[in-house]
Structure 1
Amino acid sequence: MLPNEVIDSGTLNNLFFYIMMMGLLLVLAVFIRLKFKIFKKYFIPAALIAGVIGLGLGPYGLNLFSEAMVSTWGSLAGILISIVFAPMLLGMRKSDSKGKSKLMLRHLVYSYTASLLQIGVPLVVAALVIVPLFDLNEMFGTIIEVGWAGGHGTAAGMMEVYTDLGWAEGGSLAVTTATIAIVFGIISGVIMINHGVKKGYTSVVKSTEEIKGENKDDLINIENQKLNSKGTLNPDMVEGYAFHLGLISIAVIIGWFIQQFVTLFVTGIPLFPLAMIGGLIVNAIIMRTKYSVTIDKHTLNRIQGLALDFLVLGAVASIQIPVVINFALPLLIITAVSIALLLWYFYYLGPKFFPEEWFENAIVHYGAYSGVTAIGLMLLRTADPEMKTEAGQGFALRAPFYSPILGGGLITSIIPVLVVNSGALLIGLGAIGIVIILLIISHFTGLINIMPSRSVKLSRARSN
């Protein structure tokens, strides 16, 4: 049955005002980043700054923003995530990936390994230590992959799922882990790149001066400004952004119908991964017609980016501080475990997965699974300014086979449901078991070499 609630004008006016206040905070954050260079130095995005300001001015801070306003921002984040996910598979065309299958498979297995480890290890630690020690919900271990690999978008989208499963605190904790992860990922990533340059791990950048020189100005001069979308339709007929937003809307509607069907068998599946499947269906249909030229991927990316900025702002600003304080110690423990796990994943598995240019290939994943894809690409750009290595290409090629499933995809969204039905320990051990099987298969098929070897050095340079 389609939603048929009528929203009164007073509610709409309040919603309009709340969104305008988010816009004000975002502009304020932009000028703060422009003014204070430390935010630029550590690549802190304006949306995150705006969210922290909103949190400080909200009911748990100076109380200038009402509980109703901040709660609405949090609810908007849960809606915007569908707009972020729906266009992910829209506009995909057959690309020339000839000869890149092995590179793509390495990146794909490396991606699955990261997400499955972030599911499995925290669940096992939670089941054996944290849950019995602090008497917490078994779903506590799920917040790491949701917040770290999934990012703020997935964390915001999972708020309703956690509430429906009887653990309302889970949403705020997941957003908190996403905030911790993105700040940690950016700062530690920059430190690791500097360390990697000094140790000779990097293939392209050979001195720290090259890293500093790559920090671009946040203000782009007029002569360097470029168009970031293309017009595919006559503007006399329809505005291009409106048309692309319409395509996204169709994808979300298809996802909603899929959700209604799935709910007949399994409850708790959120809309956003299904909206991505809706986008895939729309893309499959339109790409088989002459109207495929109407889709501009850059325009979709702009709409996606707009939704993501407001999503991050709303998700961070609506964090429930009392909940975070109450869970501070178990949150600290599981965060420390996650940091150690990610560092092992980067420094130990990275060189084994990528025999050449290991640092660049691994750093893009490190950033993506401690923040979002944009952070991973930012770290890659810092280590490989002109994209001379194949890291970016391999990372991109694996996306259609990874993003719909893990790191915020379908499996991520159903893990809490599986934990409720089967227990954290069983699901955690299952995820770790899949990682072991993947590594063994990859080793014996010659994809990677997981056996220790004295001849393998971390500082392998890019072969010419």
Structure 2
Amino acid sequence: MTPNQIGFAILYLGVFILIGKWLRVHVKWMQNLFLPSSLIAGFLVLLVGPQVAGRITGYFVSDDSFWSTGILTENIVSVWETLPGLMINIVFATLFLGKKLPSLKNIWQIGGPQLAFGWTVGWGQYVIGIGLTVLLLTPFFGVPPIAGALIEIAFEGGHGTAAGMKSTFEEVNFAAGYDLAVALATVGVLSGVIVGIILINWGVRKQKTKVIEDVQGFSTLRKKGIMEYENREPAADLTVRPESIEPLALHFGFVALAVLIGFLLQKMLVWIEALTWGAATGSEFMTYIPLFPLAMIGGIILQGILGKIDNAHVLDRQMINRIQGFALDVLILAAVGTVSLDVIGEYFVPFMVLAVAGILWNVFGFLVFAKRMIPDYWFERGIGDFGQSSGITATGLLLMRVVDPDNKSPAFEAFGYKQLIYEPFLGGGLVTALSVPLIFEFGPYPFLIFATVMSLTGLFAGLFYFGGKRARK
């Protein structure tokens, strides 16, 4: 593959992003579902690519015809297949860059209830997934036990985490896990938005919400995903003079450095294992760990250093957000557009079982646990965690914005504090990255027991500690 072919594949990516945005602006039902433009574009790529359009045209043209792969060439698809695994490292490296970490006391007091709730639901997804796998999917459908981790990887982690785990699934001889995870992540995002809006309407009617009394919905421009002219703000601050260095280039350099620190950590862990327990036991456990959670640690390390030496505050969080958002859009488009429909068809029943179980568990957790764990504004705060546990963080933020448009509740602050402790472990953190290798190496039952203990820990803390505060109020 030549550099020109790779370059044209990137250009095609930009064109499909524009088409996805155009569809969001002009198609009403896409606006009402608040579908991300990148997700719309990913579905479009799937339809016009080799898996749908290519198969249809294949009946009428020869194999060497341009139309045998739809309107996308094999080279374009090959480039796009590699992008999710690269972009996820950028997404996770930027999670903590430019953020000032608050005190543990504030995190615990404000974000503690949501941490307990999210911890219960997140670990519970492992309990539900592994339980169903060992009792039903493995004995009756021949699905490997590591499929039990798919709900948490896809629902809590989203498309990015699913893409980042591709190499891990290949290493443990379950390459189909990647396609199933991406498909489940798509189900998670859709269910998070659709079910979330249904829950909000129910909450308003039943007077469960404290901030809004009716659902007026967003403005027409907001549904189209366009910022109202009078509300537009700068996307980022210019912290350095462009004649010395382009601010975007500087911030990309910081992100690249964070990823490289994570890469060095990965190689160091593999080296330590080879010299110590790996040499004695023949284990190669560390080789299964993907790069993205270590890139997140690299970002934390770099932020800690910059917090002490960056007196001029040249690192701007908003600029980091723009880089993160770009990487996530590219990731979602490429991951959804290249997912294997053959794999989903082959594992259709296990896929549906895991998808339905994940949705039901999230709804159950929100309706039963959130109001008993979160002392105040339980609906406004809990709906954000429901959205995140179903898809991506953006889904949670969207749902919180619907029920608290003017930020009158502590929902956004508590959600942000909770993420500081939650994300290094679940939803794409270290636990998510280690779950598949651990189940592969030691079997499903040790991890099932551990996940049950962790979920119950969050449950008891939420019900009896934070829930007790609610009762005293």
TM norm structure 1: 0.91
User: How far apart, CA to CA, are the structure 1 residues paired with 2:336 and 2:299?
Assistant: 27
Contact 1:197 1:205 (8 Å CA) reproduced = yes
Structure 2 matches for 1:331-410, cutoff 5 A?
331-410=351-430
In the other structure, the counterpart of 1:121 is 128
- The yes-or-no answer on 1:216 pairing with 2:222 is yes
Is the CA contact 2:192–2:386 (under 8 Å) kept in the aligned structure 1?
yes
Residue of structure 1 equivalent to 2:438: 418
Shift of 1:442: 4.7
Deviations 1:86-122 (A, max 9, x none): 0111112244887663221111122221211111210
Give me the whole-angstrom Cα distance separating, in 2, the residues matched to 1:299 and 1:20.
23
Q: CA deviation at 1:448?
A: 2.4
CA gap of 1:304–1:100, structure 2 versus 1, over 3 A, is closer
Structure 1 letter corresponding to 2:373 = F
Question: Out of 32, 36, 41, which is 1:50 matched to?
Answer: 41
The question of whether the paired residues in 1 share the 8 Å contact of 2:116 and 2:461 is answered with no
- Percent of matched pairs sharing the same residue: 32
Amino acid across the alignment from 2:296: M
Cα offset for 1:429? 2.7
Secondary structure (helix, strand or coil) at the match of 2:208 reads: coil
Instruction: Give 1:61 deviation, angstroms.
Output: 0.9
Match of 1:102 in 2: 109
Find 1:88's aligned residue among 71, 95, 117. Answer: 95
- One of 293, 298, 317 as aligned partner of 1:297: 317
Letter in 1 for 2:438: L
Shift of 1:189: 0.6
Map of 1:437 onto structure 2: 457
Partner of 1:200: 207
Within the candidate set 328, 338, 361, 1:308 is matched to 328
Once residues 153 and 96 of structure 2 are traced to their aligned partners in structure 1, the CA distance between those partners, rounded to angstroms, is 20
SS of alignment partner, residue 313 of structure 2: helix
In structure 2, give the amino acid aligned to 1:11. Answer: T
Q: Residues 122 and 428 of structure 1 are in contact (CA less than 8 Å); yes or no, is this contact kept in structure 2?
A: no
Query: 1:291 Cα deviation (Å)?
Result: 4.0
Counterpart for residue 307 of structure 2: 287
Which residue of structure 2 lines up, in the alignment, with residue 40 of structure 1?
31
Residues 402/221 of structure 1: CA separation in 2 closer, same or farther (3 Å cut): closer
1:239 has 2:258 as partner = no
Structure 2, unaligned runs of 5 or more: 55-69, 274-285
Deviation at 1:428, TM superposition (A): 1.8
CA contact (8 A) 1:185 1:371 kept: yes
Q: What is the match of residue 448 of structure 1? A: 467
Which residue of structure 2 lines up, in the alignment, with residue 78 of structure 1?
A: 85
- Answer yes or no: is the 8 Å Cα contact 1:150–1:372 preserved in 2: yes
Change (3 A) 1:98 1:271: closer
1:171 partnered with 2:162:
no
Q: Which residue of 2 aligns with 1:183?
A: 190
Worse-matched range after superposition: 350-359 or 311-320: 350-359
* Displacement of 1:28: 0.6
Q: 1:253 to 1:213 in 2, by over 3 A?
A: closer
The structure-2 alpha-carbon separation of the partners of 1:67 and 1:325, relative to structure 1 and needing over 3 Å to count, comes to: farther
| Pair 1:131 & 2:138 matched | yes
Q: Which of 314, 317, 339 does residue 319 from structure 1 map onto?
A: 339
- Give the residue type in structure 2 aligned to 1:155: A
- Unaligned 5+ runs, structure 1: 1-9, 457-462
Tell me how far apart the structure 2 counterparts of residues 190 and 354 of structure 1 sit (CA, whole Å): 20
Distance 1:94 1:130, change over 3 A: closer
1:228 partnered with 2:219: no
User: RMSD between aligned alpha carbons?
Assistant: 2.0
Quote the offset at 1:221 in angstroms: 4.5
- Work out whether residues 113 and 375 of structure 2, in 8 Å CA contact, stay in contact via their aligned partners in 1: no
For the residue of structure 1 that corresponds to 2:22, the secondary structure is: helix
Specify the code of the residue in structure 2 equivalent to 1:233: V
Distance 1:94 1:327, change over 3 A: closer
1:416 is matched by which residue type in structure 2? V
* Aligned counterpart, 1:21: 12
Once the two structures are superposed, what CA deviation does each residue of 1:348-383 show, in whole Å capped at 9, x if it has no partner?
A: 001111132111111000001111001100000001
Q: Counterpart of 1:433 in structure 2: which amino acid?
A: V
What whole-Å deviation, never above 9, does each CA across 1:235-265 have from its counterpart, x for those lacking one? 1110000000000011111100111112232
Tell me which moved more, 264-273 or 368-377: 264-273
Is the contact made by 1:205 and 1:211 (CA closer than 8 Å) also made in structure 2? no
Question: Residue by residue, what CA displacement relative to the aligned partner does 1:110-163 show, whole Å, maximum 9, x if unpaired?
Answer: 222121111121011101111111011111111111110000000011111101
Tell me if 1:112 matches 2:119. yes
